C-alpha cells in the first residue's frame, strides 16, 4: 500500500505513504472488530522469560575507571559478543568484551576527527564496524575501535512553518539516517504558524541521505499529541518506531495498529496492537486545574508505549503502564516513571508479521530495553540511586 501526495511537503520529499484520517479509521475499525490477542485465552500465548540475573553488568555501582556510566545514549552488541556503549557524559564509545571486561574507549569530546560535541545513536555495520550519528555528521569506527572516517552534513531544511526535526533520528547501516519531522505551531521566528485543529499534528518519517541531501519520506502519521498554552495531556499519544533489518515498524501509541514498512515507503503488513484499551481509573485523575494549568486526562491510556524490533520478522510491543502520575511523551520519561510506580517490570508481547502473538515477556523493573537478539536482550538499567548500568540477560523461550 503506497499513496503519493500531489505536492511535496518538504523539499526533496519523494516517496510518500500517507495514513489519512479515513484510512486510520478503517484500520482502527478492523483492529477493533478482529480477534484481539489480549482478549483471547492466556493459555494460548507462550511465556518467554529472562535469566534470573543478568549475564553481563557494565557500570552501576562499579565506579572503576572504564566502568562508570552516565547519560548513556545507546548500546549495541556486536556479532561475536562485545558490547559498545555510547556514554553521553564523556562522549565516548566504550568497548567491552562478551563478559563485560572493559577493552578501550574511542571518541571523546572535541572537534577533531573521531570526536563529538554530542551524539544520538549507533548502528552495527558488517564486519562489526560501527556508525555513530552526531550533531555534525556520521562517524565510522572499525571493529578494533579505531577511527575509520566521517562525513559531515547539514540536516534537511524544514520548510516554512512546516517541519522541524525532533530527536527522532537514528543512523542506518547503509549510511542514511532515519528521521522524524514534526509540525511547527505558534510563532517561530518571523513566521506565524497556525495551530492545527487536531491535538495530534502530523509527522513525517523518512530517510535522509547525506550524500545527496535528499529526504525520502516513508510515511506520514499522527505525531506527538501537543500541549498548547496552559493545557497539557496527562498521557499524550506519540509516534514511535523500531528499526528492523528490512524496514521499520511505526505506530501511533493511541491507535490500534502498527505498520511494518520498507524504507522505500511500501507497507509490508498492518498489525493489530496486541493489547485491549485500559481505562484510566478515577484515582489516577488529578483535578483538571492546577497551578501549572489544565491537565487533560484521556478515557483510556495509550494502547502501547514502545516498539523494539526482534529477531527475524518479529516486533516487541510494550503495553503502556497504568501510571498514576501524568507523563511526558518521551520513552525515557515513561521508563523512569514506570520503574518508580510499577512492580513487576514492563509487559511485552512479541508479534509476527502475520499479526499473531508469539509470546509474552516481562522485563525487569528499571530496565529500558534497547536490543533483542535470538537468545538475549540488552538494555539500560537505573537503580534507586539513578546509577546507570548496561545489562545483558539471556532470553529463555
pLDDT digits (tens, 9 = 90+) for 299-354: 999 999 999 999 889 999 999 998 888 876 555 556 655 555 456 789 999 999 99
Q: What is the structure's pLDDT at 224?
A: 80
Q: What is the DSSP letter of 263?
A: T
pLDDT band with cut points at 50, 70 and 90 for residue 194 = low
Name the CATH topology of 55-153+381-397.
Neuraminidase (2.120.10)
Q: What is the structure's pLDDT at 189?
A: 54
Summarize pLDDT for 81-99 with one digit per residue, the tens.
999 999 999 999 999 999 9
Summarize pLDDT for 195-233 with one digit per residue, the tens.
555 567 778 899 989 888 888 999 988 888 876 667 788
Contacts of 316 (CB under 8 A, 6+ apart): 242, 307, 308, 309, 310, 348, 349, 350, 361, 369, 372
Q: What percent of the chain has pLDDT above 70?
A: 75
Q: What is the structure's pLDDT at 369?
A: 94
> What does pTM read for this prediction?
0.85
In angstroms, the CA 300 to CA 64 distance is: 46
Q: Is residue 2 predicted with pLDDT exceeding 90?
A: no
Nearest to 172 by CA among 309, 45, 11: 309
DSSP annotation string for 114-158: T-BS-EEEEEE-GGG-EEEEESSEEEEE-TTS-EEEEEE-PPPP-
pLDDT band with cut points at 50, 70 and 90 for residue 163 = low
Amino acid at each position: 500500500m503506497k499513496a503519493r501526495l500531489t505536492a511535496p511537503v518538504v523539499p526533496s520529499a519523494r516517496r510518500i505513504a500517507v495514513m489519512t484520517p479515513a484510512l486510520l479509521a478503517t484500520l482502527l475499525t478492523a483492529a477493533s472488530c478482529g480477534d484481539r490477542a489480549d482478549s483471547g485465552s492466556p493459555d494460548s500465548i507462550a511465556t518467554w522469560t529472562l535469566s534470573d540475573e543478568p549475564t553481563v553488568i557494565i557500570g552501576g555501582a562499579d565506579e572503576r575507571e572504564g566502568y562508570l556510566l552516565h547519560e548513556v545514549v545507546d548500546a549495541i552488541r556486536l556479532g561475536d559478543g562485545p558490547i559498545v556503549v555510547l556514554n553521553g557524559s564523556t562522549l565516548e564509545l566504550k568497548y567491552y568484551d562478551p563478559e563485560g571486561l572493559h577493552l578501550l574507549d574511542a571518541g571523546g569530546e572535541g572537534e577533531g576527527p573521531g570526536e563529538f560535541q554530542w551524539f544520538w545513536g549507533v548502528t552495527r555495520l558488517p564486519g562489526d564496524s560501527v556508525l555513530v550519528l552526531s550533531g555534525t555528521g556520521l562517524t565510522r569506527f572499525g571493529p578494533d575501535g579505531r577511527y575509520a572516517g566521517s562525513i559531515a552534513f547539514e540536516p534537511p531544511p524544514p520548510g516554512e512553518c512546516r517541519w522541524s526535526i525532533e530527536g527522532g533520528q537514528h543512523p542506518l547501516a547503509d549510511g542514511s539516517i532515519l528521521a522524524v519531522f514534526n509540525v511547527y505551531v505558534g510563532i517561530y521566528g518571523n513566521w506565524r504558524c497556525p495551530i492545527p485543529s487536531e491535538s495530534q499534528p502530523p509527522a513525517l518519517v523518512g530517510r535522509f541521505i547525506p550524500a545527496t541531501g535528499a529526504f525520502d519520506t516513508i510515511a506520514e502519521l499522527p505525531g506527538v499529541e501537543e500541549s498548547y498554552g496552559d493545557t497539557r495531556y496527562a498521557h499524550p499519544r506519540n509516534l514511535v518506531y523500531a528499526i528492523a533489518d528490512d524496514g521499520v515498524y511505526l505506530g501511533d501509541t493511541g491507535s490500534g495498529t502498527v505498520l511494518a514498512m520498507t524504507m522505500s515507503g511500501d507497507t509490508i503488513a498492518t498489525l493489530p496492537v496486541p493489547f485491549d484499551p485500559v481505562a484510566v481509573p478515577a484515582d489516577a485523575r488529578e483535578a483538571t486545574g492546577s497551578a501549572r494549568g489544565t491537565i487533560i486526562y484521556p478515557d483510556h491510556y495509550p494502547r502501547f508505549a514502545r516498539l523494539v524490533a526482534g529477531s527475524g520478522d518479529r516486533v516487541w510491543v510494550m503495553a503502556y503502564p497504568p501510571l498514576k502520575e501524568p507523563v511526558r511523551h518521551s520513552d525515557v520519561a515513561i521508563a523512569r516513571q514506570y520503574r518508580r510506580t510499577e512492580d513487576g517490570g514492563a509487559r511485552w508481547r512479541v508479534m509476527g508479521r502475520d499479526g499473531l502473538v508469539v509470546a509474552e515477556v516481562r522485563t525487569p523493573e528499571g530496565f529500558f530495553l534497547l536490543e533483542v537478539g535470538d537468545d538475549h536482550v540488552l538494555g539500560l538499567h537505573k537503580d534507586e540511586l539513578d546509577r546507570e548500568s548496561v545489562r545483558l540477560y539471556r532470553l529463555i523461550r
